[in-house]
Amino acid sequence: MFEFEIIQELKPNDEILEIIKGYNYTVKNGKIKHLKGTNLQFIEPTEYLITYPTTLTILEYKINEIANKNFYIKEHKQKYNLKEIKQILIELKS
Under 8 Å between Cβ of 41 and 34? yes
The one-letter code for the residue type at 56 is L
Instruction: Please write the tens of the pLDDT for every residue from 38-82.
Output: 999 999 999 999 998 889 999 998 876 556 889 999 999 999 999
DSSP for 35-60, written as a single string: ETTSS-EEEEPEEEEEEESS-EEEEE
Residue 46: per-residue pLDDT: 96
pLDDT score for 93: 76
pLDDT at 66: 59
Q: For the whole model, what pTM was predicted?
A: 0.86
Start-to-end CA distance of the chain, whole Å, equals: 50
Q: What is the pLDDT of residue 28?
A: 97
- 8 Å CB contact between 73 and 60: no
pLDDT digits (tens, 9 = 90+) for 9-33: 999 999 999 989 889 999 999 999 9
Give the pLDDT score at 6: 95
Residue ranges covered by each domain of the chain:
13-29+45-93
